[in-house]
A = this chain, B = another copy of it.
Amino acid sequence: VALGTVVVGQSGGPTAVINASLAGVIDASRLSGSHVIGLRNGIDGALRNQVIDLDEVDTKALARTSSAALGSVRYKVKPQDYDAILRMFQAHDVGLFCYIGGNDSMDTAARLAELAQERGLALKVMGVPKTIDNDLPHTDHCPGYPSAARYVVSAVRDIGLDCRAMRRVYVIEIMGREAGWLPAASIMARDATGAAPHIVLLREHVWDQAKLLAAVDEAYGKYGHCVIAAAEGFDIPQVATNSGVHDAFGHVRLSGVAAHLAAIIKAERPALDPVANVLGYMQRSSTLGRSDVDAEEAYQVGCKAVELASRGATSQMVTIERAVTSPYYATLGSVPLARVANMTRKLDPKYVLNDRYDIPESFLDYVAPLVGELPVPVRLY
């Protein structure tokens, strides 16, 4: 099926491999003989008619570039925008729209596909999954997540070694507001008994100050240091938030889970003087943590979206289906956009321990093949 012009957009928070998906869309479009253009800043570019010609782009170099090279957007599409978007697509003779993004973007894509069908337009719409949160349903995992997980694992391991050498307590705040997939990955940092993280706090865990302090005491007592991997979405009730804890300079510091936990530990265990740190944007867009599996899969899902459309598919999101865990092997499939739009896949409850602030080792079977190998540190004591 001839596709006409292919238009592609990127949406939501960038990742280390979202441009690999873009490169895949471009390469597959070229193969199918299509002209390919990009929307500047996602759907915003459709509304402002800002497009970028992608026919001559060096896709090999693009695939290695982190963040969203077309620019991204968090704009929530309004009902009256859809007409304008479809008109813009018609003006550019668009036969296929590939939207690389998370749940919100899949909703936008689903509605565009529905509207195009209602109006009898020859427009296909395909979703290309992307999110470090790993919270899209019906796919084993989402491109972007393995690289973010690799960064987190490496960070927790290296910070853990640092804290061990310096006998420190350190609270690391990890992205994951709605689902704990990313902070859960931190347990892969453990290369030996007593290795970081000593405590993992997910949104799925329930706050219990005594339990946390007991865990800190135990880790610090046994191993001389303590590293806490805390999800940014971990919920500390307001009563704790307003405990009036002050930092060393007498300043109140309450926003941010890591800072908050550090303040509580400092108040209750003044000798420990914990450091609080937010990993920040590096988690999602650092080239340093890129996973090989992720880079390859992100590229392939981009290609697959175009291939499926050229065989007649529309209103689908490409999925990754794990066939074998060890050695890791996955194939690509697809699912109707309507089944993923605005849905959030929470961390499977079997991966949340309730008796302690931790994740079961069984989670490693899931996450380790995605993260890939990491150098094993030498421990001299």
Contact = CB atoms under 8 A, between A and B. Distances in A.
A97 to B, nearest CB: 18
A127 B67 CA distance: 43
Given A255-B249, A286-B154, A289-B288, A378 B61 contact: yes
A282 B162 CA distance: 9
B378 A58 contact: yes
A287 interface: yes
A69 interface: yes
A178 B228 CA distance: 29
A71 B224 CA distance: 11
Q: Say how many copies of this protein the assembly contains.
A: 2
A182 to B, nearest CB: 16
B247 A69 contact: no
A253 B250 CA distance: 11
A14 B165 contact: yes
A10 B253 CA distance: 34
A165 B282 contact: no
Interface in A126-184: 151, 154-155, 158-159, 161-167, 170
Interface string A250-264: 011111000000000
A379 B69 CA distance: 6
A276 to B, nearest CB: 9
A212 interface: no
B72 A154 contact: no
A57 B62 CA distance: 42
A248 interface: yes
Sort chain A's interface into a size bin: 35 or more
Nearest to A166: B72
Given A69-B161, A249-B254, 19 more contacts: A41-B167, A61-B378, A64-B375, A66-B162, A67-B158, A72-B165, A154-B288, A158-B285, A159-B281, A159-B285, A248-B255, A249-B255, A251-B252, A251-B253, A251-B255, A252-B252, A278-B278, A287-B375, A288-B288
A170 B14 CA distance: 15
A181 B151 CA distance: 25
Interface in A37-80: 38, 40-41, 52, 54, 57-58, 61-62, 64-72, 74
A196 B166 CA distance: 33
11 contacts: A40-B381, A65-B375, A66-B377, A71-B164, A72-B166, A158-B287, A163-B281, A247-B255, A251-B253, A251-B254, A288-B289
A271 interface: no
A240 to B, nearest CB: 14
